[in-house]
Amino acid sequence: MSNEAFLIIEDQKSMGLLLQNELQKLTHLPVYVCQSLAETQAFLESGVDVVACLSDLTLPDAPRGEAVALLQRQHITTVVLTGSYNEKTRQEMFKQKVADYVIKDGPASIRYAVQTLNKLYKNRQRHVFILSHGSKDASKLQGLLRIHCYQVAVYENFHELQMELQQSTPELILLDSTELFEEHELYGFVNEVRQEFSANSLPIISCESSEHIGSAIKLMKYGVNDFFNTRFTAEEFYARVNQNIEQAESFREIERISQTDALTGLFNRGHFFKRGEELFIELMASQKYFFVVMVDIDFFKKVNDTHGHQKGDEALVYAAHQVQDVFAGHLVARFGGEEFCVLGEVEDATEIEALCETLRVCIETMSGDKTGVDFTVSLGLTYSGASLGEGVFKADTALYRSKELGRNQLSTEF
């Protein structure tokens, strides 16, 4: 069981409760509140893993920021929350490597503070790749990113970074001091990245000196999302990084919603044909064989009418998960209603037919125990078609033959 938790240090009880309640709306982790330095010291000795802390700058027994100093000695990511603004203090806090400095001046700042704390925890799973040719700013960029808990990897040349992108995809790419790179290699790299990843899905930011702003503008035309000056402040840097990552995550979430069926989590019919057409063309171009399977729950209307729509939904979800599990590695979608479709590469027809039989038997024998409703599925299979649409049509024809022959069986259309 995880021992992770958030910590809020606030001497005003009502404010502490407000911050705790707001943060608990955003996270599943426990949120603890301490009201003094002494209470904080005792809590930190309890063994709880504090993932991030929101701390008041002054406390009755810590009037000069001693709580923040304690947190920094413990290497705890800290957001400072204070009731009054002081520029000298703000600069001092960032020198102490706090993650942020927030003024308590209304509901908006409260929301910002707790959202920032939750974001810092999520940043543990976010990766940033830096392309740097040994500039003096490289270590500064790494340090700032690590203060905000990002996972950071640094690459000294385009080839290393391109090889890594074939294995994993970061949330952001930072180009450090691009004037140190050969121009044709730099633009070639950006172009290659954009062939694989859109600007919406993988943002790129460049760090440019004032003398090379023209280069930054040109890079943005090639596909770089944003840039910042080498004389950046920590707050400017974090604002640009966070904004670009959050925009990309929002885009990916909208894309996911547009591609998937809300009930089952499978791809929807529209995305099946979009991705399926690409896969079909790839298979045809490489002279490989394909298969299409159509799966339909038998007498599904009877399931809804007899057991109610909630049980019907449970049956759909169970069937969807079984189709996905049995045909893992292939393109699986909910076609609508109680019908599912699978497209994939085939090397051995008997292997695909065995998978179909595995699915049929599993649902016939396990659906009652898993959903409280006994039901079966009929299947249609084909290995032919001049197009994806024709392949789906043939599989559908085979499916209806299974229905006509008594259901709960597989038919094949050649």
172-187 pLDDT, tens per residue?
A: 999 987 777 888 888 9
Delineate the domains of the chain, giving CATH numbers in brackets.
4-121 (3.40.50.2300), 126-258 (3.40.50.2300), 269-413 (3.30.70.270)
Q: For position 179, what pLDDT does the model report? A: 76
Check pLDDT > 80 for residue 135. no
Q: Is residue 215 very low, low, confident or very high in pLDDT (cuts 50, 70, 90)?
A: confident
Query: Taking residues 75-83, what's their average pLDDT?
Result: 93
Instruction: Dig out the tokens for 91 from the structure.
Output: 């600069």
**What is the residue-wise DSSP string for 324-384?**
HHHTTTSEEEEEETTEEEEEEEES-HHHHHHHHHHHHHHHHHHHHHHHS----EEEEEES-
Residue 52, C-beta contacts closer than 8 angstroms, at least 6 positions apart: 6, 7, 76, 77, 78, 79, 99, 117, 120, 121, 149
Query: Taking residues 206-235, what's their average pLDDT?
Result: 85
Is residue 318 within a helix (H) or strand (E), and if so which, with residue range?
helix 309-326
Check pLDDT > 60 for residue 12. yes
> For residues 139 and 176, what is the distance between their CA atoms, to the nearest angstrom?
10
Check pLDDT > 60 for residue 366. yes
Q: For position 14, what pLDDT does the model report? A: 95
Let me know the angle formed at the C-alpha of 273 by 258 and 302, rounded to the nearest 5 degrees: 80
> For residues 99 and 76, what is the distance between their CA atoms, to the nearest angstrom?
10
Q: For position 209, what pLDDT does the model report? A: 76
253-286 pLDDT, tens per residue?
A: 999 999 999 999 999 999 999 999 999 999 999 9
Pick from 291, 287, 286, 397: nearest CA to 342: 291
Q: For position 211, what pLDDT does the model report? A: 74
| Count of other CB atoms within 10 angstroms of residue 5 | 18
Q: For position 207, what pLDDT does the model report? A: 86
Pick from 273, 270, 265, 326: nearest CA to 295: 326
Which amino acid is present at 163? M
Query: Taking residues 377-404, what's their average pLDDT?
Result: 97
pTM assigned to the model: 0.80
Long-range interactions of 212-218: CB distance < 8 A, separation 24+: 212/178, 212/179, 215/178, 215/179, 216/178
Average pLDDT score, the chain: 93
Q: For position 229, what pLDDT does the model report? A: 83
Check pLDDT > 70 for residue 1. no
Place of tokens 């699978």: 342
Q: For position 224, what pLDDT does the model report? A: 94
Question: Residue 13 burial by CB count (10 A; 0-12/13-18/19+): exposed, middle or buried?
Answer: exposed
Let me know the angle formed at the C-alpha of 378 by 373 and 384, rounded to the nearest 5 degrees: 150
Check pLDDT > 90 for residue 89. no
104-124 pLDDT, tens per residue?
A: 888 999 999 999 999 999 999
Q: For position 353, what pLDDT does the model report? A: 97
Query: Taking residues 126-135, what's their average pLDDT?
Result: 88
307-354 pLDDT, tens per residue?
A: 999 999 999 999 999 999 999 999 999 998 999 999 999 999 999 999
Q: Is residue 233 very low, low, confident or very high in pLDDT (cuts 50, 70, 90)?
A: confident
